[in-house]
Amino acid sequence: MKKNIILIHGAGVGGWVFRDIEKILKLYGNNVYCPNLSGIGDRKKLLENKVNLTTYAKEIKDLILTNNLNNVYLIGHSFGGAVVSAVVELIP
């Protein structure tokens, strides 16, 4: 059964840190998302705005809702764990 997996990076790195894991998970037929949170990588320009844990949680919530994902596995590395907890508060 195909799983919906979102890998959330920690502070100081971006979604690219999961590229090898992403390939393996996709090889097994999963839907995998490794977004860059605001202020990182291609979203660096968004750092000019005030970003905080709520900003990151809303970004992941929007990813889930935009892609109409159900039964999502949220996996956070380091600070990404705090983002996971905040997302769960927004989408139980």
The model's pLDDT over 58-76, given as tens digits with 9 standing for 90+, comes to 999 999 999 999 999 999 9
Inside any domain, residue 60:
no
Inside any domain, residue 63:
no
pLDDT at residue 44 in the model: 60
Inside any domain, residue 40:
yes
Inside any domain, residue 18:
yes
Low-confidence ranges of the chain (pLDDT < 50): none
| Residues in CB range of 56: below 8 A, 6 or more apart | 8, 37, 38, 83, 86
Catalytic residue among 24, 78, 85, 89: 78
Inside any domain, residue 15:
yes
What is the count of structural domains for the chain?
1
Give me the domain span that covers residue 43. Answer: 4-52+70-84
Pair 21, 46: CB distance under 8 Å: no
78 given a catalytic annotation = yes
Inside any domain, residue 36:
yes
pLDDT at residue 71 in the model: 93
Inside any domain, residue 34:
yes
